[in-house]
């Protein structure tokens, strides 16, 4: 009988036991599972490779690859570095050199109005004669004859300032049409309406009706209303128009979202929100159809603002009802802003921008004009200085951030004064304050924006020669002010953080055309000879600056910059893929950029047909 001698196995420190050792198979299996778990922990849902990834980080760096997991960005860098994030279930997207950048953040628009225009009677911002205007509206009437004689016709996107042969229109323009229906025509700028006599009758607007606070009823020589309503006066007619049904508003919200995602917009601010907008978008979200992060600035009208505690309480109640808290991967509703209008628009024929010095007026003839300073400085600022300061401070105390419409230099100046008062109690990091439009700014106010943390939210597409900026502004503003019209680069050079807001549907939604204009300050190549060349002496913004304005800076405006606006690990995967490289193509071609894919929180919400192919 042979005795078998078992020798102890000498194990090297840190090595696994040989497979023949008791229990070794179980240990190997456990370690293998652990390795698989570690791989699963690092594996991304999607890796984008071989691209031109424009990050908009602090250095505006360009990378090759980006990895997304659970709706967030986990890696941005080289193709080689992205390999460790590729697992067996990772979707790998070969960008083939295409540009990938942060999703667009539109810091000022009006989505219900924009969506309604897409599905209603639309003049499409076209340059029309009076006869063409009448023909287009008559066609809408004929198409809806079943609504005779009492159904309102609402007409949108009337480019009043571009009327061929002059802008003179009145109720007689509409009274000549074949209808008994009341008609309400909204100018594309949103500050003027044209109504017919039937509409004036139903709205009880007569020669004895006083101008409302913050508005004006244009009148004929007899004192009778002419049919033109400015600013808050438009509400006198709107209040008697049967409101859209909730279903109508939901359809408008869905139409707006479809247009926005095709443009690459992943976040927006409704810059004059009422309860109907919040109700509509909340319903769209419940239906699983919200495809962009939706922010809302609750509108406080000049009349409502006279009772500051009540106005802020109403805004706070809407915020408490609809705001859904911290920004997460899935888009939802955020209510963190209030909106106030301080004036109207600086261009003729309205001339309702609040100006430090009077508009010019023609003391000569059309054939031999003689422009001199007149007496009209526009209306008083709709919120007097002391009241505006109280509104801004009360809003901040309630956790709401002010978003102020200011077109003329006096309105901008008083908005800056209110922000200066705000800064005595609330730092810019805590309460972000925005001034929208800023079409005319006194040069002495340029350097105030940066130190005050006042964010100019600019509609870059206005920075070009056009009927409104040439025919309706140049002579009325005079040569000194006109030099600084649309002062984007002047503000940027003075230290302002420029954000972008399209103001849709004031203009057609075309974010890439707006960015092109922001760089070139030129109109389209087919513009009329009188609109060739550049606008004013402002040099324009760089490509990097306009892309930052519509991504990270607008995210900052909306207090969302820690989550969106640049492509960095830890931020949400709000991304767009483009058909061409904005940084490399000729500047004029920026207007032709098309979005191939829009991703919000890691989920594709738009895929262009050719991208699918």
d(CA 245, CA 250): 9
Q: Where among 211, 238, 265 does a domain terminate?
A: 238
Exposed e or buried b per residue across 551-566, where buried means at least 16 C-beta atoms within 10 angstroms of its C-beta: bbbbbbbbbbbebbbb
Q: How many domains does the chain have?
A: 2
**pLDDT attached to residue 349:** 86
Q: How many CA atoms lie within 13 A of 120 on its CB side?
A: 23
Task: Based on the fold, state whether residues 372 and 223 are members of the same structural domain.
Answer: no
Kindly state whether residue 46 falls inside one of the protein's structural domains: no
Chain CA centroid to CA 592, Å: 20
d(CA 124, CA 111): 16
Which of 244, 242, 201, 207 is closest to 224 using CA atoms?
A: 207
Kindly state whether residue 587 falls inside one of the protein's structural domains: no
* Average pLDDT value for residue range 413-433: 98
* Average pLDDT value for residue range 378-399: 97
Percent of residues, the chain, with pLDDT higher than 70: 92
**pLDDT attached to residue 161:** 78
Digit-coded pLDDT (tens) for 213-239 = 889 999 999 999 999 999 889 999 999
Task: Based on the fold, state whether residues 228 and 256 are members of the same structural domain.
Answer: no
Kindly report the backbone phi and psi dihedral angles of residue 458, in degrees, each rounded to the nearest multiple of 5, phi listed first.
-105, 140
Which range (160-169, 248-257, 449-458) has the least confidence?
A: 160-169
Q: Which two tokens stand for residue 325?
A: 């808290």
Kindly state whether residue 359 falls inside one of the protein's structural domains: yes
**pLDDT attached to residue 33:** 38
Task: Based on the fold, state whether residues 221 and 300 are members of the same structural domain.
Answer: no
Mean pLDDT rounded to a whole number for the chain = 92
Task: Based on the fold, state whether residues 332 and 369 are members of the same structural domain.
Answer: yes
Kindly state whether residue 2 falls inside one of the protein's structural domains: no
Residues facing 335 on adjacent strands: 296
Q: Which residue has the higher pLDDT, 339 or 28?
A: 339
Task: Based on the fold, state whether residues 275 and 221 are members of the same structural domain.
Answer: no
Task: Based on the fold, state whether residues 285 and 214 are members of the same structural domain.
Answer: no
Chain CA centroid to CA 188, Å: 15
Which H helix or E strand runs over 26? helix 24-42
Kindly state whether residue 125 falls inside one of the protein's structural domains: yes
**pLDDT attached to residue 612:** 61
Chain CA centroid to CA 461, Å: 12
Task: Based on the fold, state whether residues 406 and 555 are members of the same structural domain.
Answer: yes
Identify the CATH number of the domain in which residue 548 sits.
3.20.20.140
Kindly state whether residue 534 falls inside one of the protein's structural domains: yes
Kindly state whether residue 7 falls inside one of the protein's structural domains: no
Q: How confident is the model at residue 41 (pLDDT cuts 50, 70, 90)?
A: low
Q: Where among 238, 266, 299 does a domain terminate?
A: 238
Contact predicate 268/234, CB 8 Å? no
Identify the CATH number of the domain in which residue 192 sits.
3.10.310.70
Task: Based on the fold, state whether residues 520 and 545 are members of the same structural domain.
Answer: yes
Distances in Å between the alpha carbon of 177 and those of 130, 237, 494, 576? 12, 19, 52, 46
Task: Based on the fold, state whether residues 259 and 389 are members of the same structural domain.
Answer: yes
Neighbouring residues of 149: CB distance < 8 A, sequence distance ≥ 6: 179, 180, 181
**pLDDT attached to residue 27:** 41
Residue range of the domain that includes 377: 246-565
Q: Which two tokens stand for residue 534?
A: 């550049």
In sign, the C-alpha dihedral spanning 159, 162, 164, 169 is: positive
Percent of residues, the chain, with pLDDT higher than 90: 85
Task: Based on the fold, state whether residues 234 and 264 are members of the same structural domain.
Answer: no
Digit-coded pLDDT (tens) for 547-595 = 999 999 999 999 999 999 999 999 999 999 999 999 999 999 999 999 9
Kindly state whether residue 20 falls inside one of the protein's structural domains: no
Q: Where among 184, 210, 238 does a domain terminate?
A: 238
pLDDT at 183 over 80: yes
* Average pLDDT value for residue range 241-261: 95
Task: Based on the fold, state whether residues 344 and 409 are members of the same structural domain.
Answer: yes
Long-range Cβ pairs for the range 245-251 (8 Å, 24+): 246/276, 246/279, 246/280, 246/283, 248/116, 249/112, 249/276, 249/277, 249/279, 249/280, 250/280, 250/283, 250/284, 251/115, 251/119
Task: Based on the fold, state whether residues 199 and 305 are members of the same structural domain.
Answer: no
């Amino acid at each position: 009988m042979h005795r078998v001698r078992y020798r102890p196995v000498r194990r090297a420190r840190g090595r696994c036991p040989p497979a023949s050792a008791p229990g070794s198979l179980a240990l190997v299996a456990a370690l293998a599972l652990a390795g698989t778990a570690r791989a699963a922990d690092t594996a991304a849902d999607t890796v984008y490779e071989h691209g031109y990834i424009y990050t908009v980080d602090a250095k505006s760096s360009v990378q090759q690859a980006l990895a997304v997991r659970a709706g967030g960005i986990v890696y941005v860098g080289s193709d080689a570095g992205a390999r460790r994030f590729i697992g067996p279930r990772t979707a790998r997207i070969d960008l083939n050199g295409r540009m990938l950048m942060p999703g667009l953040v539109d810091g000022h628009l009006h989505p219900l109005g924009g969506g309604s225009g897409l599905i209603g009677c639309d003049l499409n911002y076209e340059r029309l004669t009076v006869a063409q205007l009448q023909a287009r509206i008559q066609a809408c009437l004929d198409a809806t004859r079943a609504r005779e004689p009492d159904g309102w016709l609402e007409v949108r996107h009337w480019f009043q300032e571009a009327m061929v042969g002059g802008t003179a229109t009145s109720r007689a323009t509409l009274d000549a049409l074949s209808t008994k229906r009341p008609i309400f025509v909204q100018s594309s700028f949103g500050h003027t309406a044209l109504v017919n006599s039937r509409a004036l009758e139903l709205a009880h607007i007569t020669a004895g009706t006083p101008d409302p606070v913050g508005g004006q009823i244009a009148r004929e020589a007899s004192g009778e209303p002419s049919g033109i309503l400015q600013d808050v006066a438009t509400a006198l007619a709107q209040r008697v128009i049967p409101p859209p049904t909730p279903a109508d508003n939901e359809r408008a919200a869905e139409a707006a979202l479809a247009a926005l995602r095709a443009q690459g917009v992943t976040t927006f601010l409704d810059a004059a929100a009422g309860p109907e907008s919040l109700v509509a978008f909340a319903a769209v979200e419940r239906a699983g159809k919200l495809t962009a992060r939706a922010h809302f600035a609750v509108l406080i009208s000049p009349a409502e603002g006279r009772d500051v505690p009540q106005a802020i309480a109403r805004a706070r109640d809407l915020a408490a009802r609809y705001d859904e808290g911290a920004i997460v991967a899935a888009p939802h509703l955020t209510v963190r802003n209030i909106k106030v209008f301080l004036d109207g628009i600086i261009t003729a024929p309205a001339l309702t921008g609040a100006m430090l010095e009077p508009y010019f007026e023609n003391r000569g003839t059309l054939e031999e004009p003689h422009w001199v300073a007149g007496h009209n400085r526009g209306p008083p600022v709709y919120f007097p200085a002391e009241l505006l300061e109280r509104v801004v401070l009360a809003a901040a105390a309630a956790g709401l951030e002010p978003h102020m419409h200011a077109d003329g230099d006096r309105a901008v100046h008083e908005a800056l004064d209110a922000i200066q008062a705000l800064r005595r109690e609330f730092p810019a990091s805590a309460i972000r304050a925005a001034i929208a439009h800023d079409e005319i700014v006194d040069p002495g106010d340029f350097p105030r924006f940066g130190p005050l943390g006042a964010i100019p939210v600019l509609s870059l597409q206005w920075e070009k020669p056009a009927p409104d900026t040439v025919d309706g502004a140049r002579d009325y503003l005079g040569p000194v002010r006109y030099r600084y019209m649309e002062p984007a680069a002047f503000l940027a050079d003075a230290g302002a953080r420029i954000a972008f807001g399209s103001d849709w549907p004031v203009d057609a939604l075309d974010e890439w055309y707006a960015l092109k204009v922001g760089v070139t300050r030129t109109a389209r190549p087919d513009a009329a000879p009188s609109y060739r060349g550049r606008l004013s002496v402002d040099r324009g913004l760089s490509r990097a600056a306009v892309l930052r304005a519509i991504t990270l800076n607008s995210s900052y405006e909306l207090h969302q910059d820690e989550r969106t606006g640049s492509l960095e690990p830890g931020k949400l995967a709000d991304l767009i893929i483009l058909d061409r490289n904005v940084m490399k193509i000729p500047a004029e071609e920026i207007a032709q950029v098309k979005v191939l894919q829009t991703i919000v929180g890691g989920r594709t919400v738009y895929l262009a047909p050719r991208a699918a192919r």
